[in-house]
Amino acid sequence: MILEATPPSTLESEFNPKISAEVRFDEAAARLGLDEGMQKVLRSPSREIIVHIPVSLDDGRLEVFTGYRVQHSIARGPAKGGIRYAPDVTLDEVRALAAWMTWKCAVTNLPFGGGKGGVICDPTLLSPSEIERITRRYTAELFDFIGPEKDVPAPDMNTNEQTMAWIMDTYSMHARHTQTAVVTGKPINLGGSKGRPEATGRGCMIVTEQALRRLGLERSSTRVVIQGFGNVGGMAAKLMSRAGFKIVCIVEWDCAIYNAGGLDIPALMKHRNETGSIAGFSGGEMIDKTEAMFLETDVLLPAAKENVITSDNAHRLRTKILCEGANGPTTHVADSILAEKGIFVIPDILANAGGVTVSYFEWVQDRQGYFWNEQMVNDRLEEIMINSFQDVVAYAEKHSVNNRTAAYMLALDRVAYAIKLRGIYA
């Protein structure tokens, strides 16, 4: 067979997350045999909202910021998804992320659709009071479109529990009563859930354990390389180390720290908190951050950014399991390479779904007015993550596809089924 060179346009599109999502959607839809009309419905957002936010800055100037909220699907329940603040937010990006949330919620069988929001701004150039004013005006503009039964936002890039508290308060002032269930990721004292900060990392650990069982590997002898040491990677490292995994390497933006015998994760976290970097940690050796991704290991857990595994480097991976803690760490072109290498992939829309799962628990607790202890949160998270893992793997075996395609097929199937049951209102 003669392999033709990939045209430049294809190479450029490899790194576009929207195109990656569309390619995977197309493959899953084709394998499911979805008719053209249903594909159009599943592709199309339910609603796209653009707002222009006038804000008085601290120096007295008046500035106008642009905000977005895309509700991709509400077929299975309220839209669910984060709000990000960044100078490079685009409507296309928000559309793609909203669709991903639809599939993520469907894979884990949560009663949510997908949504996403963003405001074009640079938080590093704004004071806390300016960010608060942006947040409150953005919330006021969206008041008619969000709510516990409509659309439930959450934190994302450059937003946090304080941002969610401002949104909750602003919404409540307009509604004339306190409504904690309008957002998730709130402070505990305002209706947040225990276990939320660890949820995404814990979910990664749970599905990794399930993969180990399928491959006949023991936790105590399992070597793990984690890219990223923030909320997802750091929590995954902490929990997996405590559970008995051997974390041999942490890869960060400036360097990588390696110890074949296993890193002391609490000590590394202490060092990072004191110095601002993992560099110089005495419990391991510094190695090249790029080469660290290609160490021989049992589990590779990218938990930092998108497009780190590509057609240029996928063939160099030496891992048995790839657990995608980040959104979109693998390009669609690299999927076939990983399949040829026999790497067991736990796709992002399953692997990092622990966060949205505990966000669902927070929403449920707020609506009940009854809050669970952390053990209950963790037990129910484990149940959902294990069931979701088993659903995806069973779907992969039934349809003779890889895990990523199976996850997309399962998600599309569930959303399409809900739409067919509801019918098309006209």
Complete DSSP assignment for 303-340? -S-SS-B-TTTGGG--EEEEE--SSS-B-GGGHHHHHH
Task: Please state whether 103 falls in left (phi above 0), alpha (psi between -120 and 50) or beta.
Answer: alpha
> How many angstroms separate the CA atoms of 405 and 161, rounded?
34
Cβ proximity of 294 and 267 under 8 Å: no
- H or E, element range at 247: strand 246-251
Q: Kindly report the number of other CB atoms within 10 A of residue 66's CB atom.
A: 15
Half-sphere CA count of 54, side-chain side, radius 13 A: 3
Q: Give the β-pairing of 344-346 and 62-71.
A: unpaired
Q: Quick one: angle between helices 36-43 and 403-422, nearest 10?
A: 100
116 is catalytic: yes
Q: Residue 184's closest CA among 344, 355, 402? A: 355
At 399 the three-state DSSP class reads helix
Q: Give the β-pairing of 246-251 and 256-258.
A: antiparallel
> How many angstroms separate the CA atoms of 307 and 14, rounded?
9
> How many angstroms separate the CA atoms of 170 and 135, rounded?
9
Q: What is the dihedral of CA 295, 301, 307, 312, to 10 degrees?
A: 20
Burial class for 287, CB neighbours closer than 10 Å (0-12, 13-18, 19+): middle
Burial class for 409, CB neighbours closer than 10 Å (0-12, 13-18, 19+): buried
Catalytic-role residue among 18, 40, 80, 116: 116
> How many angstroms separate the CA atoms of 46 and 73, rounded?
6
Cβ proximity of 158 and 85 under 8 Å: yes
**Active-site amino acid positions:** 116
